[in-house]
A and B are shown apart, each in its own frame.
Chain A
C-alpha cells in the first residue's frame, strides 16, 4: 500500500478548506444565536423565555443529521413553492451557506444552554451596578457581563466547537463538496477508499487536537486575574 495521494491532494485540500469554512462560520452563527437565546431564555418576558425554551428543547432532542436533512431540503422545497406561485425563476440556495445556516441554527440551541449557565454564574450585582451608573443595557452587557461570563462559558464553547467540526463532516450528505466528498471521489476513482478516508480522519484529528491546544490557551487567557486555590 503506497501513501501517495495520486494527484488528489488539490481536491482534498479544497475540501478541507470548505469543511473549515463551514465549521467556523457555523460557530459564529451559533455563537450569536446562543447569546441571543440565553438572554431571551433568562428574560422576564414570558414569550421570549418560552420561545427560547421550546427552541432549545426541540433542537437538542432531535439528531443533528435529521434536522440537517429536514431543514435543508424542506426550506429549498418551500422556497420553490413560493417562487413557482409567483411565477419566478427557481432560487437555488447555495449549498455552503445553506449548510452554515442549518448548522448554526442547530448548534445555536446548544450554545444557548452553555451561555445560560455562564450568564447565571456571574454575580447579579455586576450587571446591576453597571445599569445603576447609567450604562445602556447593551454596553453593560458588552463591557461587564460578557467578559466575565465567557470565563465560565469557555469549557462549554470548546466542547460545542469540537462537536460542530465533527458534525460538519456530515455536510457531504447534503451535497456539499467538503473533504469527505473529496475523499469519496478520490477513493472511488483509485479503489483505495480506506486510505483516502484515513487521510480525512487524520486531517480531522489534526484540526480537533489543534483546536484543543488553542482553546486551552484561551481558557488560561480568560482566567487571568482569577487565583486558583493551591492545595
Chain B
C-alpha cells in the first residue's frame, strides 16, 4: 500500500510526467463542462420558460433526450459512434476534433450537464413571484433589463441548492471519461490496478480522493448558500431541532 502510494501519488494527483492526469484532469473536466454548460443553459432556460411553443418545445425535446438517456451512452455515441459516420470521417476539421477522446468527453459532458442545468434554471425562473415581474414592468423596465436586474438574480439564487447538487453529480459523472481513454482519476486507478493487481487499494485511493473533493464542494456550496441565500436562513441563530430539552442555556447579556 505504501509502495503503491509512493510510486503513483503523482499520477493520482496531477501528472504522469507527460500529461495532465488524475485529480487535476477530473477537476479540469468538471470546471470546463460546468462552465460551458452554465453559459449555454442560461439562454436555454429562458427559452424553456417562455410561453412561445416554438421556443420551449425544442428546448424541452433537448432536455428530455439528454436527461432520459445515460451519459455513458451519450459518450459512446459521440466517441465511438461519430467516428464511424462517413461525413465526419471525411471532413478534416470535424475529424481532427472528434478523433480526440478528450474533445468527445467534453462535448458529451457539456450537453448532458446543460440539459440538467436548463431544467433547474427554468424551474427557478418559473417560480419567480409574479409581483416582482409586474413591479419591474410597472416602472417601465424593458424585457432585457427585467431579466438582467430582477428575474435572473433571484432565480439563480433560488436555483443554488439544486444547482450545487448537479455540480456534485457532474463530479461523479466525470468518472465515465476513462472509457474514452481520458486519463482522469478513475483511469489512473484502472491503470494502477492493471499494473499491481492491488484492486482494493488502487480503486480505494481514487474513491477517497473523490470523497474529499465531494466534501470540499459541499462545504463551498454551504458557504455560498449562507452568503447568497442569507435572507432565507432562520432568523434566530440558536434554534435547535431537538426541542425544549436541548435548548441552549440563556446567555448572560
Taking Cβ atoms with an 8 Å cutoff, the residues of A that contact B are 58, 61-67, 69-70, 73-74, 77-78, 165-167, 169-170, 173, 180, 183-184, 187, 191-195, 197-198, 200-201, 204-205, 208-209
Contacts and interface: CB of A to CB of B under 8 A. Distances in A.
Contacts of A184: 76, 80
A58 B204 CA distance: 12
Contacts, number: 109
A204 to B, nearest CB: 5
A63 B210 CA distance: 7
A70 B211 contact: no
Query: For the complex, would chain A's binding face be called helix, strand, loop or mixed by DSSP majority?
Result: helix
Contacts of A74: 199-200, 203
Interface of B: 64-65, 68-74, 76-77, 80-85, 171-176, 179, 186, 189-190, 193, 197, 199-200, 203-204, 206-207, 210-211, 214-215
B73 A66 contact: no
Contacts of B174: 63
Nearest to A208: B68
9 contacts: A58-B211, A66-B186, A67-B207, A77-B197, A165-B70, A180-B73, A194-B84, A197-B73, A197-B80
Contacts of A66: 175, 186, 189, 203, 206-207, 210
A127 B166 CA distance: 36
A70 B210 CA distance: 13
What are the nearest 4 A-B pairs in CB distance? A194-B81, A63-B172, A169-B70, A70-B203
A135 B76 CA distance: 54
A161 to B, nearest CB: 13
Nearest to B208: A62
Contacts of A65: 172, 175-176, 186
A209 B68 contact: yes
B77 A198 contact: yes
A185 B207 CA distance: 31
A84 to B, nearest CB: 14
A70 B77 contact: no
B70 to A, nearest CB: 4
A2 to B, nearest CB: 13
